[in-house]
Amino acid sequence: MPTGAGKSLCYQIPALCRAGVGIIVSPLIALMQDQVAALNELGIRAAAINSNIDPRAVAETKAAIRNGTIDLVYVAPERLLMDEFLALLDASPIALFAIDEAHCVSQWGHDFRPHYIGLSLLAERYPNIPRIALTATADAPTRRDIVEKLGLHGSPQFISGFDRPNIHYRIEERHSAQQQITQFIRESHAGQAGIVYCLSRKGVEDMCAHLVSEGFTALPYHAGLPADVRQQNQQRFLRDEAIVMVATIAFGMGIDKPDVRFVIHANIPKNIEAYYQETGRAGRDGLPSEALMLYGMKDVVLQRNFIEEGDAPDMQKRIEHEKLGALLGLCETAGCRRQILLRYFGDDSAPCGNCDCCDTPPATFDGSIAAQKALSCVYRTGQRFGVQYLINVLLGKVDSRMEQFGHTKVSTFGIGTEYGIHEWQGIFRQLVALNYLTSAGEHGGLKLTPEGATFLKERPTLPLRHITHRKGKARKHKESLAKELGVAYDSDAAPELFNALKSLRLQLAKAQNLPPYVIFHDKTLRELAVRQPSTPEDLMQVSGVGERKAERYGAFFLQAIAEYNASQAA
Ligand code: ZN
């Protein structure tokens, strides 16, 4: 089930209906506290047990498990598998076991956690207690692995559509990451919360400094920062509004902030699963959100080197190369991005009308001759030079190195003047993505692959994407998208009232040290600003307002709405 589709309800409701306590296994210690806080806000008895929790509170929770006086307990797999904890479970009424982020059990998945393997014990030790495994990101081999490793043979499998219709996908060539990202946030997402993923710590630091210098509230997050700084930045991201988190992929797993309006990749991610999981952090509240990926050929060469230099067995390396190839197919497609994403996970769909390729279909051209020129230029110069050098040879731009190597005399010298530098870069990038060219080792040199050599011999036709600076201006209007998704959008609501309700929410949240969305989601505030309820009964009709929240916060919000109406009447 995709992120934000309600996976947790699948175990929370059964755990409440059944006698005993539901045990939720999750790898995300840092985030258990917020999940528990959100449940407590709803009036549900829940707690977490992990190394960050004070021993006295742990002892209380353990007593509550034994007595069956708690509904849900979150625990990390390491803790669950301790003898002492298993002995406690043996002696307690257990409603069910839920294994969250179940793809962590699979080595084929992209986030393998060795402790998850140990969870096979649950099937053997508690054969009569129901078990459920959940994930937002698993291709077919990973799903098979989950069944296998967690002893779920013969269990029903529920696979919902993977589509996240409120996310707009956009993938662009990278010219200047800093400039493109600044412009994207300023034009479309000023004053909103989002995540910018960079490949390295240094990339994070540089991008963050740039965004701060441009006037955004940006915070860094990567493994090189002290744990308390990381924790503090994560807390600020969750609790304040309009923070741009600039991070390596160390950030974000299990981040349950519903109003992340954009996720940007400054470099290509590892594969489609990783991309889908990372972009899935946008728009959990169902409101229109955007995913932007910038990519360049350097990324591709770098990712290929990562795979080659890793110490995975050859079989696994081959799988990773294939996965990277699928991602590059997504980048270079002239068709609908969403169709490619969904097909990857086994879903089919029509062109979506909510991605850059649907907005402005990219033109293609017959690139056969261009590809032949580029590939033979690689061959003629000895299969060890980088793109810039190769392009200079094709354009006949002599430098001293070229004279020294005698490359002004090769047959491909100066035969590519029909294209400019930028176009040749695009052609080379597509040839790398097609796996006709690959890294020749260090220094970004390129060599032919067997497929590239076959292409040169057989010379088939080859459609390539036109290389132009596309602007993506024709994006679907956010309001019409909001209407299609059945959600209220800014313009429907009285903006002043919406802002007043937002600051009331922030005030209530700060007073209790809670993230604002734990009180009400943006979606609920929008609906409040549109419907403007005046009685507790009306208030309860608004989605996201339950009995407990109406009791606790209703009076504050009704008063704010009444004050707004009085000020309008005056
Ligand atoms: Zn589309």
pLDDT of residue 487: 63
Of 46-50, 435-439, 541-545, the range with the lowest mean pLDDT is: 435-439
pLDDT surpasses 70 at 178: yes
**DSSP notation for 65-85:** HHHT--SEEEE-HHHHTSHHH
Residue 474 has pLDDT above 50, yes or no: no
Distance from residue 150's CA to the centre of ligand 1 (Å): 36
All structural domains of the chain: 9-149 (3.40.50.300), 167-359 (3.40.50.300), 364-465 (1.10.10.10), 488-569 (1.10.150.80)
Q: Rounded to the nearest whole angstrom, what is the distance from the C-alpha of residue 347 to the centroid of ligand 1?
A: 14
User: Highest mean pLDDT: which of 86-90, 103-107, 189-193?
Assistant: 86-90
Q: What is the whole-number distance in angstroms between the Cα of residue 293 and the centre of ligand 1?
A: 15
Q: Read off the pLDDT of residues 5-20 as tens digits, 9 standing for 90 and up.
A: 788 899 999 999 999 9
Residue 471 has pLDDT above 60, yes or no: no
Task: Calculate how far, in angstroms, residue 365's C-alpha sits from the geometric centre of ligand 1.
Answer: 21
Residue 403 in this model has a pLDDT that exceeds 50? yes
* Ligand 1: centre distance to CA 382 (Å): 41
CA of residue 361 to ligand 1 center, whole Å:
9
Q: How many Å lie between the centroid of ligand 1 and the Cα of residue 340?
A: 9
pLDDT value of position 309: 87
Percent of the chain at pLDDT > 90 equals: 49
H-helix or E-strand spanning residue 197: strand 193-197
Residue 80 has a pLDDT of 94
565 CB-contact burial (10 Å; exposed 0-12 / middle 13-18 / buried 19+):
middle
Alpha carbon of 367 to ligand 1 centroid (Å): 24
More confident residue, 383 or 346: 383
What pLDDT does 318 receive?
A: 79
Q: What is the 339 CA–ligand 1 centroid distance (Å)? A: 7
C-alpha of residue 341 to centroid of ligand 1, in Å: 10
Alpha helix positions (H), 240-296: 272-279
Residue-wise pLDDT tens digits, 240-281? 888 999 999 888 766 778 899 999 999 999 998 889 989 999
Distance 288 CA to ligand 1 centre (A): 15
CA distance 207 to 482: 31
* DSSP per position, 354-414: SBHHHHSPPPEEE-HHHHHHHHHHHHHTTS---HHHHHHHHHT---HHHHHHTGGGSTTTT
Question: The pTM is what?
Answer: 0.71
Q: Please give all residues whose CB falls under 5 A of ion ligand 1, grouped by chain where several chains appear.
A: 336, 338, 352, 355, 358
525 C-alpha to ligand 1 centroid (Å)? 30
Strand partners, 439: 446
For the segment 446-469, the average pLDDT, to the nearest whole number, is 86
CA of 465 to the centre of ligand 1 (A): 16
Q: What is the mean pLDDT of residues 84-106?
A: 94
Band (69; pLDDT cuts 50, 70, 90):
very high
CA of 295 to the centre of ligand 1 (A): 19
pLDDT for residue 203 is more than 50: yes
pLDDT band at 523 (very low <50, low <70, confident <90, very high): confident
Residue 475: its pLDDT value, please?
A: 47
Average pLDDT over residues 18-30: 90
